[in-house]
C-alpha cells in the first residue's frame, strides 16, 4: 500500500512508527478491521497483533524449485534452526533455471566447492550451472554468485532496500564498440586499457571467432581488439567481447579513428549489469553531406537472453523494416551476441528508449561524431 494512502486513511493512531487503523462496519454484524503500514523487509508478518515469525528459526528464504531468475521467485519458507538459504543455477536442454530452497548448513553443497558434472534426474538430464550460494540472512538467496559455495557471514539487521553497491572493479567484463564517424581498418583502432593492482595478472579476451591470452605486471595493460569487432550494421550480430582476469581489474574501452574522433567508456563488471535500461544519446554533428545518426547496442553475456526494446522514435529501420515510436522489438540473444539500432537521420532521438531483459545485458549508446 502506498504511504500516502496509509496516512490519509488514519494518521491519528501511531504506534512504533506504524500507522494503525481500527474501523467498524455498521450493520447487523460488527467486525473490527485493522490496517497497519510498516517499513522494512518482512515487517508485516507481525502486523495487526499477530505473533509474526518464530523467534527460534533459521533465515526466511526464497523457495522455488525452478525459476528463470532467483528474484522472480514469489514463495517464502521459514527455515529451521541450523538451515541456511540456498540458490544454484541449473541448466536443462540449453535453458538456464535457478533453484532456491532451505538447506542444512552442513550440506555438501554449502561446505565444498561445487562440481558441475551432469546429473541424471529421472528421464531428464540436468547439470549444475556456474554459480551456487548458501547464506544466512533473510531473503539473501535472490542472486546467484559465480563459483561460490561457502556459507556467507551472518548479519543481524535487515536493510530496507535490496540495492547493493557495485564496484567498477571485477574479473569479467562484456565490451562492445559501436560505429565511429567512419570505418577504415588502417586508421581505426579498438582497445581496452586494463588497470590492476596485483602482479602477475592474466587476461583472457574471448570473441565468437577467437580467443587471446595475455599477461601483465601492472599498473596498466593495453589490450588491442580486432577492428572487425566494430558494430556497423543494424540488427543482430556477434560482436561482443568478453574480457576476464584472474585478479580484480578495471577496464576502459577505447574506439579511435585517427586523432579526430575518439570515444571511451568505463566498463561495468558483468556481475554489476542490469536487466532494465533507459537509453541516453546526444545529437550528432553534421559533417558535409553526411547526416549522422544516434545509436545504441545491447550485448548478451548469457545464452538465451530475451530482450524487449521499446523505441522512443520512429526514425529507425531495423532489421530492414521501419519501426514506429512506441513499438517494442523483441530479440533473443545468445552469449556474445549483440543487437544494434541506429537512427536514419540526426533528427531521430533514441533518448528514452527502454530496454528490458530476462537476464543481465550490457548497453552502450552514443553517436557517430559530436
Instruction: Break the chain into its structural domains and give their ranges.
Output: 3-49, 60-135, 170-367
Per-residue confidence (pLDDT) for residue 19, from 0 to 100 = 41
The span from the first CA to the last CA of the chain, in angstroms, equals: 46
Question: What is the average per-residue pLDDT within 297-315?
Answer: 90
CA 82 to CA 100: how far, in whole Å? 17
Comparing 148 with 93, the larger pLDDT belongs to 93
Q: Could you tell me the pTM of the whole model?
A: 0.55
Least trusted range by pLDDT, from 76-80, 177-181, 327-331, 344-348: 344-348
Out of 120-129, 253-262, 340-349, which region has the weakest mean confidence (pLDDT)? 120-129
* Residue 12 in this model has a pLDDT that exceeds 50: no
Q: Give the whole-angstrom CA distance, residue 342 versus residue 6.
A: 46
In sequence order, what are the residues at sequence separation of 6 or more whose Cβ sits closer than 8 angstroms to the Cβ of residue 51? none
Q: Decide if pLDDT at 23 tops 50.
A: no
The reported pLDDT for the residue numbered 4 is: 78
Per the model's pLDDT, the better-predicted residue between 345 and 244 turns out to be 244
pLDDT(79) > 70: yes
| Higher pLDDT pick, 344 / 230 | 230
Q: Is residue 335 pLDDT above 90, yes or no?
A: yes
pLDDT for the residue numbered 159: 36
Average pLDDT, whole number, for the chain?
Answer: 79
Cell of 129: 550451472
Report the percent of the chain where pLDDT is more than 70.
Answer: 76
189 Cβ contact list (under 8 Å, min separation 6): 224, 227, 254, 256
List all residues 6 or more positions away from 235 whose beta carbon is below 8 Å from its beta carbon.
318, 319, 320, 339, 340
Q: 182: exposed, middle or buried (C-beta count within 10 Å: 0-12, 13-18, 19+)?
A: middle
Amino acid at each position: 500500500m502506498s504511504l500516502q494512502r496509509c496516512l490519509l486513511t488514519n494518521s491519528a493512531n501511531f504506534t512504533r512508527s506504524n500507522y494503525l487503523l481500527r474501523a467498524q462496519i455498521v450493520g447487523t454484524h460488527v467486525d473490527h478491521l485493522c490496517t497497519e503500514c510498516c517499513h522494512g523487509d518482512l515487517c508485516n508478518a507481525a502486523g495487526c497483533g499477530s505473533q509474526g515469525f518464530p523467534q527460534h528459526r533459521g533465515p526466511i528464504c526464497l523457495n522455488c524449485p525452478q525459476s528463470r531468475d532467483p528474484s522472480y521467485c514469489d514463495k517464502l519458507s521459514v527455515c529451521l534452526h541450523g538451515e541456511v538459504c540456498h540458490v544454484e543455477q541449473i541448466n536443462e536442454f540449453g535453458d538456464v533455471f535457478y533453484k532456491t530452497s532451505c538447506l542444512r548448513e552442513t550440506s555438501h553443497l554449502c561446505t565444498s566447492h561445487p562440481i558441475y558434472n551432469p546429473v541424471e534426474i529421472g528421464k531428464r538430464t540436468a547439470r549444475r550451472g556456474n554459480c551456487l550460494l548458501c547464506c544466512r540472512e533473510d531473503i539473501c538467496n535472490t542472486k546467484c554468485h559465480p563459483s561460490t559455495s561457502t556459507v556467507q557471514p551472518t548479519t543481524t539487521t535487515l536493510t530496507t532496500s535490496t540495492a547493493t553497491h557495485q564496484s567498477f572493479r571485477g574479473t569479467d567484463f562484456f565490451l562492445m564498440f559501436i560505429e565511429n564517424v567512419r570505418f577504415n581498418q588502417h586508421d581505426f583502432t579498438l582497445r581496452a586499457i586494463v588497470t590492476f593492482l596485483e602482479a602477475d595478472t592474466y587476461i583472457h579476451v574471448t570473441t565468437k571467432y577467437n580467443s587471446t591470452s595475455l599477461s601483465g605486471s601492472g599498473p596498466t595493460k593495453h589490450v588491442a581488439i580486432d577492428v572487425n569487432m566494430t558494430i556497423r550494421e543494424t540488427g543482430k550480430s556477434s560482436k561482443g567481447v568478453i574480457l576476464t582476469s584472474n585478479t580484480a581489474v578495471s577496464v576502459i574501452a577505447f574506439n579511435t579513428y585517427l586523432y579526430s574522433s575518439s570515444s571511451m567508456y568505463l566498463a561495468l563488471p558483468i556481475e554489476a549489469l542490469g536487466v532494465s535500461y533507459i537509453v541516453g544519446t546526444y545529437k550528432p554533428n553534421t559533417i558535409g553531406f553526411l547526416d549522422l545518426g544516434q545509436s545504441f547496442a545491447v550485448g548478451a553475456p548469457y545464452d538465451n537472453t530475451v530482450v524487449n526494446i521499446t523505441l522512443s522514435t520512429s526514425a529507425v529501420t531495423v532489421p530492414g523494416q521501419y519501426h514506429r515510436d512506441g513499438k517494442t522489438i523483441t530479440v533473443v540473444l545468445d552469449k556474445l551476441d549483440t543487437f544494434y539500432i541506429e537512427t536514419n537521420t540526426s533528427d531521430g532521438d533514441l533518448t528514452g528508449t527502454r530496454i528490458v531483459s530476462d537476464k543481465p545485458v550490457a548497453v552502450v549508446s552514443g553517436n557517430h561524431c559530436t
